[in-house]
Amino acid sequence: MFARMSLRWKLLLLSIFMITVPLSLQGVVTYKEFSSSTERRATENTMQITEQINRNLDRTLAEMQRLSLAPLYDPNVLAILNKYGGADSDAAIPTIEEREKMFLYISGAAYGLQEVKGIQIIAGNGFIFTNVDSTLMRFADSDALDWSGKVREADGAWTLIPPHHLHHYIPGDPNEYFSVARMLREPGSNRQLGMIVIDLKLDVFRTILANYRFEENGNLFVVNGANDLFFEKTSGDTEPSLIGDLRAVSASFGSGVYERAPNGKRYITVVDNSAYSGLKVIAYIPESVLLKETKQLQNFTIAIAILFVAAAGVIAIFFAYRISQPLVKLKQKMLLVETGNFKQSVPVETQDEIGQLGRGFNRMSEEINRLVNEVYAVELREKEAELANLQSQINPHFIYNTLESINMMALQKDNYEVSDMVTALGGMLRYAVTQNARTVALEEELASVGAYLKIQQLRYGDRLRVAFDAEPGTEGLHVPKLLLQPLVENAIFHGIGDREEGGEIWISASRFEDELLICVRDDGVGMDETQIERLRQSMLSPEPPGPRRRGLALRNIAHRLRLIFGPTAELHMDGSPGGGMAFTITIPAIERSQGDDQTIAG
């Protein structure tokens, strides 16, 4: 397929290919590098965020852990807890003064801590002291609380309780809180006095996260080692598949970066474990979010690539046209040369190889045209020499005497038509044989044509009508011998010969300044423009081979005119279907005098 393409298309495709391929490779490399860089930056940023969240949580929880130890260093608190921590005080209610002391102590401890919802100090007998509201101090069954067993198992160590409701001492509060709790034991005796519970708002996580720029469509979770969910930040409803993957990551993965694909959706997962609190901050960042900026770059790159390819295409078309156009013209001229029209040349505008090829073609066509014309001229001279040789071999007197005998017999038989025909034929033969000159006076040529037409009128009768119109002063001008007879013959046989109504032939001659114009016109069948153009082209080409040589008489006339008078002489034709044909000969107006040579051109 490529081999059958034109040179213009090959140049165009090659130019676009050489521009598109490097540009595409550069775009792919840039896209990959930018994607990798974007993912790396987002991952590093998320790792820093998760690490800082855990560090801030550790500081907050460390402060709460220290706060949970403070009651053990206050004598008044220890005295009250000792009083209501034994089995003999199960139903004892602290006095108003004792409750007031505990309220003031707890309120002072929680002062300025916005993240603390409230502090509970639960005595051994189950009585709750709190700073939330002094009226909320009451008994509670601590054993019935979900998290109390976990606190007892810690046996004095601080414990982190997952989010839960505070309905046991704040009825009707719909919010959840997570807590720091520990068992309180008397220093020295290690006797159990009760427990302290510091209830923290979930806003702790939101406040910490507000200081960092987290991915808008990312998901952040805070869980403990038991997979209890403390906090989550999501861009919408959390997918069940993501919760399932969260449990697997929390249970099996340590700190680091992982690629996860729950339910076929790809995430970059960042995990940070706190050795202090045991909390894990896990961030899920959708890969589509990371590639959002990359997609914008990709679209921008594609748009730029399309723009450059379009511009390159326009430039490639321009240069392909400029390079191939001279070759296309050269090809067209070569096709004309193949048909025999050797007088061709191409314009040469450059000095490159294509320009050299054009100049070589011009020289070649000029040389071929010159050689063809020389060969034709030689053939024409040979034919004229043969004709002259034949003329010289004919005994004119024998022919004249024979024709005169025929004429006398026709007159004796009263056959005047035969007599007229023989007389006209004798005049034609005398004109053709007795004069060796290549040019004759116009009046002699018209007389010879008149004799020929007289013979044809005897044949066609009234169907053939003839009119002569020679401008005065043109009778003695040079014309080639036997110039008009082929034109008149064409007018009769090809123009009006087959028409039932016949036709008329006009032969005119006029002088226009230094030119002689001779016109042979008929009102016969005529020709259309295509036929006329084909006839003109046949006059320019060499004589075609074969028995059927269309336009041979006209071609000979045109070549004889150029051979005798040079390039100024021409044979022009015009006509229309049904309107006849007109052949006009234009030659230099040269007066004929005695002793004129037969060569006039040059």
Domain boundary among 206, 225, 260: 206
* φ and ψ of 532, to 5 deg: -65, -45
Higher pLDDT among residues 163 and 267, named by residue: 163
Contact 177, 201 (CB under 8 A): yes
Q: What is the pLDDT of residue 364?
A: 85
Confidence of residue 597 (pLDDT cuts 50, 70, 90): very low
pLDDT tens figures, 189-211: 888 888 999 999 998 888 888 77
For 283, residues 6+ apart whose C-beta sits below 8 A from its C-beta are 46, 49, 50, 214, 218, 219, 220, 221, 269, 270
Q: What is the pLDDT of residue 549?
A: 46
Rounded mean pLDDT, 586-600: 67
Residue 297 lies in a domain: no
Q: Which range among 224-233, 300-309, 405-414, 573-582 shows the weakest confidence by mean pLDDT?
A: 405-414
Q: What is the pLDDT of residue 368?
A: 82
Q: Check pLDDT > 80 for residue 489.
A: yes
* φ and ψ of 470, to 5 deg: -105, 125
Q: Of 419, 600, 594, which is closest to residue 516 (Cα–Cα)? A: 600
Contact 231, 223 (CB under 8 A): no
Helix axis angle for 416-434 and 442-460, nearest 10°, is 150
Rounded mean pLDDT, 556-584: 88
Q: Which range among 293-307, 523-537, 588-602 shows the weakest confidence by mean pLDDT?
A: 588-602
Q: What is the pLDDT of residue 386?
A: 65
Q: What is the pLDDT of residue 595?
A: 46
Of 359-363, 387-391, 426-430, 466-470, give the range with the top mean pLDDT.
Answer: 466-470
Of 276-280, 327-331, 390-394, 405-409, give the range with the top mean pLDDT.
Answer: 276-280
Rounded mean pLDDT, 139-157: 83
Q: How far is CA 585 from CA 484, 508, 520, 569, in A?
A: 9, 11, 9, 8
Confidence of residue 545 (pLDDT cuts 50, 70, 90): very low
Q: Of 148, 106, 105, 100, which is closest to residue 124 (Cα–Cα)? A: 148
CA 313 vs. chain centroid, Å, equals: 7
H runs (alpha helix) in 70-154 = 75-83, 96-110, 148-154
Q: Which range among 74-78, 497-501, 540-544 shows the weakest confidence by mean pLDDT?
A: 540-544
Q: What is the pLDDT of residue 547?
A: 46
Higher pLDDT among residues 394 and 168, named by residue: 168
Contact 452, 415 (CB under 8 A): no
Residue 316 lies in a domain: no
Angstrom distance (rounded) from CA 524 to CA 504: 8
What's the per-residue H, E or C state across 427-473? HHHHHHHHCCCCEEEHHHHHHHHHHHHHHHHHHHHHHEEEEEEECCC
Contact 121, 105 (CB under 8 A): no
Confidence of residue 180 (pLDDT cuts 50, 70, 90): very high
Q: Check pLDDT > 60 for residue 544.
A: no
Contact 162, 205 (CB under 8 A): no
The overall average pLDDT reported for the chain is 81
Q: What is the pLDDT of residue 1?
A: 63
Q: Check pLDDT > 70 for residue 465.
A: yes
Q: How far is CA 27 from CA 21, 22, 44, 427, 448, in A?
A: 10, 9, 25, 94, 88
Contact 221, 208 (CB under 8 A): no
Q: What is the pLDDT of residue 222?
A: 92
Residue 401 lies in a domain: no
Provide the 3-class DSSP secondary structure of residue 129: strand
pLDDT tens figures, 213-223: 666 667 889 99
Domain boundary among 185, 206, 227: 206
Rounded mean pLDDT, 549-553: 64
Q: What is the pLDDT of residue 385?
A: 63
Q: What is the pLDDT of residue 26?
A: 73
Q: Check pLDDT > 90 for residue 517.
A: yes
- The CATH number covering residue 555 comes to 3.30.565.10
Confidence of residue 387 (pLDDT cuts 50, 70, 90): low
Contact 54, 278 (CB under 8 A): no
Domain boundary among 206, 223, 257: 206
Residue 107 lies in a domain: yes
Higher pLDDT among residues 234 and 34, named by residue: 234
pLDDT above 70 covers a percentage of the chain that reads 83
Q: Check pLDDT > 80 for residue 2.
A: no
Higher pLDDT among residues 6 and 514, named by residue: 514
Please give the full DSSP string across 178-195, using - where no structure is assigned. Answer: EEEEEEEE-TTT--EEEE
Residue 296 lies in a domain: no
> Buried b / exposed e across 369-387, counting CB within 10 Å, b at 16+?
beebbeebeeeeeeeeeee
Confidence of residue 104 (pLDDT cuts 50, 70, 90): very high
Provide the 3-class DSSP secondary structure of residue 201: strand
Q: What is the pLDDT of residue 593?
A: 61
Q: What is the pLDDT of residue 594?
A: 47
Q: Of 244, 140, 269, 245, which is closest to residue 194 (Cα–Cα)? A: 140
Sheet with 503-512, side-by-side order of all strands: 464-470, 503-512, 515-522, 580-588, 570-576
Q: Check pLDDT > 80 for residue 446.
A: yes
Structural domain boundaries enclosing 137: 74-206
**Amino acid at residue number 415:** N
pLDDT above 90 covers a percentage of the chain that reads 17
Q: Check pLDDT > 80 for residue 501.
A: yes
Q: Check pLDDT > 60 for residue 183.
A: yes
Q: Of 559, 556, 479, which is closest to residue 511 (Cα–Cα)? A: 479
Continuous segment of H or E residues that includes residue 222: strand 219-223
For 447, residues 6+ apart whose C-beta sits below 8 A from its C-beta are 427, 431
Number of domains observed in the structure of the chain: 2
Rounded mean pLDDT, 170-187: 89
Q: Check pLDDT > 60 for residue 18.
A: yes
Q: Check pLDDT > 60 for residue 50.
A: yes
- The CATH number covering residue 172 comes to 3.30.450.20
Higher pLDDT among residues 239 and 70, named by residue: 70
End-to-end CA distance of the chain: 56
Higher pLDDT among residues 485 and 541, named by residue: 485
Q: What is the pLDDT of residue 214?
A: 64
Residue 319, CA atoms < 13 Å, CB-side half-sphere: 12
Contact 169, 132 (CB under 8 A): yes
Residue 365 lies in a domain: no
> Buried b / exposed e across 491-510, counting CB within 10 Å, b at 16+?
bbeebbbeeeebbbbbbbbe
Q: Which range among 37-51, 404-418, 435-449 shows the weakest confidence by mean pLDDT?
A: 404-418
Q: Check pLDDT > 70 for residue 318.
A: yes
